[in-house]
């Protein structure tokens, strides 16, 4: 369906900051939840009714240089029936600059090529009926919005920077996030059946020069035994009384929940957003917190006090969408006294002395005495989890910093003195640790590092498969570009047609 000329230019300019907007200083950038940078235009071109632009569907096979001053943007490539605008290229350039990425001297060629490759993946995703659910999109966009709010400092400041409401931002980010997920899923589908055998791994590394074989950083396996110092009953009551006072002030209309959260909540991530957590599923929340939050029905009501692994909360419902809720909370953590810390460390040092004396093993002690839920059922062994694998081996930089400092000076089999750290739930804990194994930095070998070497070969095979797929896809796809791009040295073959 064709759009009128005014609609076409507005849609084109809103995709990304145009050169005119960028130069005039009306583009604002922020980093999204995935670490990339989004660049947005905060102002539109004046007199858009008079701007003459040609929709991509009307371009046919001809692309011509625009008349200077007649338009603010131009179509520089067409891939299939999808246009690539000069403003798209400038937006990606700004994104890279904002996150410290250098496209190099070939940026004028590599950036539009990256955009063109994205079009190929999106087209194939449509053919293969790849889908991204609205629930996935909503969750991803909410994470991006929440990150932008954190960067700006508050919802109000973000809206002021962007000159638009949070609702408008969500609408703009919807398609951007959806497309990025479609591309990711399509890439994963294309390589999901690729595997490599041990023989292929050995063959790949057999003839490589020694200095080309990858280095494996120092890896360690660490066991921990923790004791959590307990606050005094008086300190717990102080925290609860403060939360009751907050609830009373909110119910009387003296102050808003969001204001109190900004001032007093000890959850730094949400406090800057007035305690708002964003749309979240039950499984992403502490079970005790979720049990109360998901039973709230009235946004005007404040929950009872909830104790979780993080501390004590009060909660207020904002909205519910199916099996996901958006709520605010105020978190307060009881202060731990020096006496409680000293008592926990003294007990841990006594346990450590008994282990060194051979009365029982570290593993048995961790299973029975540790109060760390994540490790006690694994004999105290720390687990290093990622999206692709779960292992007990850590590179030193991947350990909690307090643990890494202690382990760095230890010998294999040694048990440490007691020390303190803040765990993943933000609680202060005392612990001892044992260095179970250490493998110093070395060149990879099949016998010791087969999985790492297999991952290298697998990544290369996947890269080769995607490269070949893109080049084959180019051959069967209509491509036109402005003459200025035809002398480019592209990564993929076949863009330039005779």
Report whether 348 contacts 418 (CB < 8 A): yes
Q: Which residues contact 485 (CB under 8 A, 6 or more apart)?
A: 76, 77, 109, 112, 496
- Which of these ranges, 151-155, 298-302, 402-406, has the smallest mean pLDDT? 151-155
Q: Which residues contact 64 (CB under 8 A, 6 or more apart)?
A: none
Task: Give the pLDDT confidence score for residue 39 in this predicted structure.
Answer: 25
* pLDDT (tens digit per residue) in 35-67: 332 222 222 223 333 333 333 333 343 444 444
Paired with 435 in beta bridges are 222
Task: Give the pLDDT confidence score for residue 35 in this predicted structure.
Answer: 34
pLDDT over 60 at 251, yes or no:
yes
Over residues 126-153, mean pLDDT: 84
Mean pLDDT, the chain, whole residue set: 83
Q: Which residues contact 41 (CB under 8 A, 6 or more apart)?
A: 13, 14, 16, 17, 18, 21, 26, 27
How confident is residue 250, by pLDDT bands cut at 50, 70 and 90? Answer: very high
More confident residue, 272 or 192: 192
pLDDT over 50 at 20, yes or no:
no
- Pick from 60-69, 92-101, 148-157, 359-368 the range whose average pLDDT is largest: 359-368
Number of C-beta neighbours around residue 462 at 10 A? 17
pLDDT over 50 at 249, yes or no:
yes
Q: Does domain 216-230+337-443 have CATH number 3.10.50.40?
A: yes
DSSP-derived pairing of the beta strands 479-481 and 37-41: unpaired
Question: Domain 233-332 belongs to what topology?
Answer: Chitinase A; domain 3 (3.10.50)
**Domain boundaries, given as residue ranges, for the chain:** 5-191+473-485, 216-230+337-443, 233-332
Give CA–CA dist 52/72, Å, rounded: 9
* pLDDT (tens digit per residue) in 109-128: 999 999 999 999 999 999 99
pLDDT over 60 at 431, yes or no:
yes
Task: Give the pLDDT confidence score for residue 179 in this predicted structure.
Answer: 92
Mark out the alpha helices in 207-337 (DSSP H runs): 233-251, 257-264, 268-271, 287-293
Whether this model's pTM surpasses 0.75: no
One fold for both 216-230+337-443 and 233-332? yes
Task: Give the pLDDT confidence score for residue 497 in this predicted structure.
Answer: 82
Looking at domain 5-191+473-485, its CATH architecture is Orthogonal Bundle (1.10)
pLDDT over 90 at 473, yes or no:
yes
Percent of the chain topping pLDDT 70: 84
Tokens found for residue 258: 């969001």
How confident is residue 21, by pLDDT bands cut at 50, 70 and 90? Answer: very low
* pLDDT (tens digit per residue) in 335-393: 999 999 999 999 999 999 999 999 999 999 999 999 998 899 999 999 987 655 678 98
pLDDT over 90 at 283, yes or no:
no
Over residues 451-458, mean pLDDT: 90
pLDDT over 80 at 131, yes or no:
yes
How confident is residue 71, by pLDDT bands cut at 50, 70 and 90? Answer: very low
């Amino acid at each position: 369906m064709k759009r009128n000329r005014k609609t076409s230019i507005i849609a084109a300019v809103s995709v990304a900051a145009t050169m005119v907007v960028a130069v005039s200083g009306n583009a604002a950038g922020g980093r999204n939840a995935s670490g990339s940078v989004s660049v947005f235009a905060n102002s539109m071109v004046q007199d858009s009714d008079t701007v003459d632009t040609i929709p991509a569907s009307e371009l046919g096979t001809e692309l011509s240089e625009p008349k200077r001053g007649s338009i603010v943007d131009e179509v520089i490539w067409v891939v299939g029936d999808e246009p690539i605008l000069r403003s798209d290229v400038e937006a990606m350039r700004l994104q890279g600059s904002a996150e410290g990425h250098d496209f190099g001297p070939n940026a004028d060629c590599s950036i539009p090529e990256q955009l063109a490759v994205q079009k190929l993946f999106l087209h194939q995703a449509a053919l293969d009926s790849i889908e991204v659910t609205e629930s996935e999109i909503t969750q991803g966009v909410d994470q991006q919005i929440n990150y932008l709010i954190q960067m700006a400092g508050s919802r109000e400041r973000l809206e002021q920077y962007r000159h638009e409401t949070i609702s408008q931002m969500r609408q703009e980010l919807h398609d951007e996030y959806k497309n990025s997920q479609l591309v990711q899923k399509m890439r994963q589908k294309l390589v999901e059946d690729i595997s490599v055998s041990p023989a292929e791994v050995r063959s790949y590394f057999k003839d490589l020069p020694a200095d080309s074989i990858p280095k494996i950083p120092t890896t360690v396996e660490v066991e921990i035994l923790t004791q959590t110092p307990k606050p005094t009953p008086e300190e717990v009551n102080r925290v609860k009384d403060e939360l009751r006072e907050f609830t009373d002030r909110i119910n009387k209309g003296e102050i808003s929940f969001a204001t109190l959260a900004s001032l007093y909540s000890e959850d730094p991530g949400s406090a800057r957003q007035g305690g708002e957590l964003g749309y979240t599923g039950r499984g992403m929340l502490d079970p005790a917190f979720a049990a109360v939050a998901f039973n709230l029905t009235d946004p005007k009501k404040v929950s009872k006090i909830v104790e979780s692994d993080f501390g004590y909360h009060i909660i207020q419902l904002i909205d519910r969408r199916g099996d996901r809720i958006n709520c605010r909370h105020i978190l307060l953590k009881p202060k731990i006294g020096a006496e409680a810390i000293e008592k926990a460390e003294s007990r841990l040092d006594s346990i450590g002395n008994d282990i060194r004396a051979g009365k029982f093993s570290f593993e048995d002690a961790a299973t029975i005495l540790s109060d760390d839920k994540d490790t006690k059922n694994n004999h105290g062994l720390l687990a290093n989890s990622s999206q692709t694998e779960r292992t007990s081996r850590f590179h030193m930089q991947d350990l909690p910093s307090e643990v890494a400092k202690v382990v760095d000076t230890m010998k294999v089999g040694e048990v440490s003195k007691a020390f303190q750290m803040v765990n993943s739930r933000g609680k202060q804990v005392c612990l001892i640790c044992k260095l179970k194994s250490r493998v110093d930095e070395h060149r990879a070998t099949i016998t010791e590092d087969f999985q790492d070497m297999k991952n290298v070969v697998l990544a290369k095979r996947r890269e080769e498969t995607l490269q070949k797929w893109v080049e084959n896809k180019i051959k069967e796809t209509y491509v036109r570009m402005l003459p200025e791009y035809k002398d480019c040295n592209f990564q993929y073959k076949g863009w330039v047609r005779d």
